[in-house]
Chain A
Amino acid sequence: MRTDSKSDISHAQLFLRRHERMRSRVMRLAFLAAAVCLWHFLASAGVWNELLFPPPREVLQSLISGFSDGTLPAAIFASMWRLCIGYGISLAIGVPLGLLIGRIRLLDDTVGSLAVGLQSLPSICWLPMALLWFGLTEAAMQFVIIMGSLMAVTLAVRDGVRATPTFYLRAAPILGAVGWRFYRYVLLPASFPSVVTGAKLGWTFAWRSLMAAELLYVTTGIGSTLMMGRELHDMALVVASMLIIITIGLITDRFIFKLGEEFVHKRWGVG
Chain B
Amino acid sequence: MANVELKNVSKVFLGQSGVVHGLTGVNLAIPAGEFLCVVGPSGCGKTTLLNVIAGFELPDQGDVLVDGARIGGPSSDRFVIFQEPALFPWLNVRQNIVFGLRMAGVDQRIQDEKAEALLKMVHLTRFASSFINELSGGMKQRVALARALAMDPAVLLMDEPFAALDAQTRDMLHEELEAVWQQTNKTIIFVTHNVREAVRLGSRVILMSGRGGSILKEYPIDLPRNRYLEDVQVVTIASKIRDELRQEAVRANEAGGTDAH
The chain A residues found within 8 Å of chain B, CB to CB, are 165, 167-168, 170-171, 173-177, 181, 185-186, 189-190, 192, 266-269
Contacts and interface: CB of A to CB of B under 8 A. Distances in A.
Interface stretch (B78-86, B111-119, B183-191): B78-86
B74 interface: yes
A168 B90 CA distance: 12
Contacts of A269: 89, 133
Interface of A: prevailing SS? helix
B84 A174 contact: no
A17 to B, nearest CB: 19
B90 A174 contact: no
Contact of B78 (A174, A176, A186, A267): A174
B205 interface: no
The 7 closest A-B pairs by CB, nearest first: A167-B86, A176-B103, A175-B100, A173-B74, A269-B133, A171-B86, A189-B90
Contacts of B56: 170
Given A167-B82, A176-B104, A192-B90, A267 B74 contact: no
B82 A170 contact: yes
Contacts of B182: none
Nearest to A177: B103
B9 interface: no
A266 B103 contact: no
B88 interface: yes
A177 to B, nearest CB: 5
A174 B76 contact: yes
Nearest to B90: A189
Contacts, number: 63
Contacts of B181: none
Nearest to A265: B133
Nearest to A167: B86
Given A170-B56, A175-B103, A266-B131, A165 B84 contact: yes
Nearest to B102: A185
Contacts of B74: 170, 173-174
A181 B101 CA distance: 13
Interface string B67-78: 000000111101
Contact of A267 (B76, B104, B133, B147): B133
A185 B100 CA distance: 11
Contacts of B82: 167, 170-171
B88 A174 contact: no
A183 B212 CA distance: 37
A190 B89 CA distance: 8
25 contacts: A168-B88, A170-B74, A170-B80, A170-B86, A171-B86, A173-B73, A173-B74, A173-B75, A174-B74, A174-B78, A175-B100, A175-B103, A175-B151, A176-B76, A176-B100, A176-B103, A176-B104, A177-B99, A177-B103, A185-B102, A266-B131, A267-B89, A268-B89, A268-B133, A269-B89
